[in-house]
Amino acid sequence: MEYTDMMFDKFGVPAEFMSKDAVLACFSIGRTTASLVDVGGDIAVVTPVYDG
């Protein structure tokens, strides 16, 4: 069973919103365009976001 199916069917969740982490990070600082750098323990990821 897929995640969204489970949430709707099994738990009765009325709505769901999914988005990429980079887009949410932009919105959290009030921007819709940015270059984000996510540095983890073993990998770094650069993500361009243009107009949200």
pLDDT digits (tens, 9 = 90+) for 6-29: 999 999 999 988 888 888 999 999
Report percent pLDDT > 90 for the chain: 67
Tokens 């107009």, residue located: 51
Q: Please report which helix (H) or strand (E) contains residue 37, including its range.
A: strand 34-39
- 39 - beta bridge partners? 44
Mean pLDDT estimate for the chain: 90
pTM: predicted TM-score of the whole model, two decimal places: 0.59
